[in-house]
């Protein structure tokens, strides 16, 4: 096997890992959001008698930062496991 073919194989494995991680991460976020929404019980007694008729949503600026950190952690985890499995397969021979 040529050296560049090994590099291409590693990059393909990395992209498969990253895409599957992104899909699992997204599915987990949606699932947790659905569960939290279903179990939410608003406290109307603290409103003090007057309720707004408008809906307000929270800010999402932290979610992008969290996703970037998670993808960086996934990348680090991928390369560490690759190195670990490579080291363990060498020691088993």
pLDDT digits (tens, 9 = 90+) for 13-36: 888 888 888 888 788 888 888 888
pLDDT digits (tens, 9 = 90+) for 39-93: 888 777 766 666 667 776 665 556 677 777 778 888 888 887 777 777 666 655 5
In a domain, 16, yes or no: yes
Q: What is the predicted pLDDT for the residue at 62?
A: 60
Q: What is the predicted pLDDT for the residue at 74?
A: 82
* pTM for the whole structure: 0.55
In a domain, 67, yes or no: yes
Number of domains in the chain: 1
In a domain, 74, yes or no: yes
Q: What is the predicted pLDDT for the residue at 92?
A: 53
Structural domain that includes position 11: 1-38+62-88
In a domain, 29, yes or no: yes
In a domain, 2, yes or no: yes
CA distance 64 to 13: 25
Say if residues 22 and 71 touch (Cβ distance below 8 Å). Answer: yes
Q: What is the predicted pLDDT for the residue at 59?
A: 57
In a domain, 21, yes or no: yes
In a domain, 43, yes or no: no
- SS3 string, the chain, reads CCHHHHHHHHHHHHHHHHHHHHHHHHHHHHHHHHHHHHHCCCCHHHHCCCCCCCCCCCCCHHHHHHHHHHHHHHHHHHHHHHHHHHHHHHHHC
Q: What is the predicted pLDDT for the residue at 4?
A: 76
Q: What is the predicted pLDDT for the residue at 19?
A: 82
In a domain, 20, yes or no: yes
């Amino acid at each position: 096997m040529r050296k560049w073919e090994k590099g291409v194989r590693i990059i393909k494995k990395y992209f498969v890992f990253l895409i599957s991680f992104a899909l699992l991460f997204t599915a987990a976020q949606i699932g947790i959001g659905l569960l939290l929404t279903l179990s939410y019980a608003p406290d109307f007694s603290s409103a003090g008698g007057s309720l707004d008729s408008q809906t307000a949503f929270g800010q999402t600026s932290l979610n992008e930062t969290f996703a970037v950190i998670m993808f960086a952690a996934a990348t680090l985890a991928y390369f560490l496991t690759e190195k670990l499995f490579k080291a363990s397969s060498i020691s088993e021979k």
